[in-house]
Chains A and B, each alone.
Chain A
Amino acid sequence: MDRIALKIDNLESYYGPIMAIRGVSLEVREGQIVTILGSNGAGKTTLLKTISGVMMPAKGTIIFNSESIGGLEADKIVKKGLVHVPEGREIFPLLSVYENIILGAYTRTDKNKISVDLEMVYEYFPILQERAKQRAGTLSGGQQQMLAIARGLMSKPDLMLLDEPSLGLSPILVEEIFTILKRLNKEQNVTMLLVEQNARVALELANYGYVMEIGRIVMADKSEKLSQSKDIQEYYLGMSTAGERGQRRYKVRKTWR
Chain B
Amino acid sequence: MDFIQLAISGLAQGCVYGLIALGFVLIYKATEGVNFAQGDFMMMGAFVTIWLTNAEYLGINFWLAVPIAILIMGILGYLLDMLIIRRMFGQPQIALVILTIALGFIIRFAAGAIWTHEPQLLETPFAGKEVRFLGFVLGFEEVAVIIVTLLLTLFLFLFFKKAKLGKAMQAASQNQLAAYYMGIPVKKIQSLVWALAGAVAAVAGILFASKGAVDPSTGLLGIKAFAAAVIGGFGSLPGALIGGLIIGIIEPFAAYALPAGYSQITPYLIMILVLIFRPAGLFSQMHSKKV
B-binding residues in A (CB < 8 A): 52, 54, 73-75, 77-79, 83-86, 90-95, 99, 102-104, 106-107, 135, 137, 151-152, 155
A155 to B182, CA, bound (A): 8
Query: Hey, which chain A residues are within 8 Å of B289, CB to CB?
Result: 93-94
Give the interface SS of chain B, mostly helix, strand, loop or mixed.
Answer: helix
Q: Which residues of B contact A (CB under 8 A)?
A: 164, 167-168, 170-171, 174-175, 177-185, 287-290
A42 to B135, CA, bound (A): 78
User: CA separation between A103 and B169, bound complex, in Å?
Assistant: 11
- New A-B contacts (11) at CB < 8 Å, excluding given A93-B174, A104-B182: A52-B181, A77-B183, A78-B183, A86-B178, A90-B175, A90-B178, A92-B179, A93-B290, A94-B287, A94-B289, A155-B182
CA distance in complex: A75, B180 (Å)? 7
Asked if A94 meets B174 with Cβ closer than 8 Å, knowing A74-B183, A102-B167, A104-B182, the reply is: yes
Report, nearest first, the 6 A-B pairs whose CB atoms are least far apart.
A78-B183, A90-B178, A107-B183, A75-B183, A92-B174, A92-B171
Given contacts A94-B287, A95-B174, contact A103 B167 (CB under 8 A): yes
CA distance A74 to B168 in the complex (A): 15
Nearest CB to that of B288 among chain A residues? A137
Bound Cα distance A16, B167 (Å): 33
Knowing A86-B177, A92-B178, the reply to whether A106 touches B184 (Cβ < 8 A) is yes
Q: Which residues of chain A come closer than 8 Å to B290, judged between CB atoms?
A: 93, 137
User: CB distance A73 to B185 under 8 Å?
Assistant: yes
CA distance A185 to B38 in the complex (A): 51
User: Provided the pairs A93-B289, A93-B290, A137-B287 are in contact, do residues A84 and B170 lie with their beta carbons within 8 angstroms?
Assistant: no
Counting chain A CB atoms within 10 Å of each CB, which of B167, B179, B182, B290 scores highest?
Answer: B182
Contact of B168 among A103, A135, A137 (CB under 8 A): A103
Q: Which residue from chain B places its CB closest to the CB of A77 in the assembled complex?
A: B183
Closest residue of A by beta carbon distance from B171: A92
Q: Is A92 a contact partner of B175 (Cβ separation < 8 A)?
A: yes
A106 touches B181 (CB 8 A): no
On chain B, the residues within 8 Å of A137 by CB distance are: 287-288, 290
Chain B contacts for A83, CB-based, 8 A: 181-183
Kindly state the separation between the CA atoms of A47 and B168 in the bound complex, as whole angstroms.
26
User: What would 17 A/B residue contacts be, using CB atoms closer than 8 Å?
Assistant: A54-B181, A75-B183, A77-B183, A83-B183, A86-B181, A90-B175, A91-B175, A91-B178, A92-B170, A92-B175, A93-B289, A94-B289, A95-B171, A103-B171, A106-B182, A107-B182, A137-B290
Q: Are A74 and B175 also in contact (CB < 8 A) when A93-B290, A94-B170, A95-B170 are? A: no
For residue A195, give the distance in angstroms from its CB to the closest CB of chain B.
Answer: 14
* Chain B residues whose C-beta falls within 8 Å of the C-beta of A95 in the assembled complex: 167, 170-171, 174
Query: Across the two chains, which residue of chain A brings its CB closest to B168?
Result: A106
Task: State whether A99 and B167 are in contact (beta carbons under 8 Å apart), knowing that A92-B175, A93-B175, A94-B174 are contacts in the complex.
Answer: yes
CA distance A107 to B180 in the complex (A): 11
Query: Chain B nearest CB: distance from A207 CB in Å?
Result: 25
Task: Give the residue name and chain of the B residue nearest to A48 (CB).
Answer: B181
**What chain A residues lie within 8 Å of B168 (beta carbons)?**
103, 106
Q: What's the nearest-Cβ distance from chain A to residue B145, in Å?
A: 32
What is the bound-complex CA distance between A41 and B171, given in angstroms?
28
- Please name the residue on chain A nearest to B170 by beta carbon: A95
| Closest beta carbon of chain B to A186's beta carbon, Å | 25
Q: How far is the CB of A194 from chain B (nearest CB, A)?
A: 16
**A155 cross-chain contacts in B, Cβ below 8 A:** 182-183
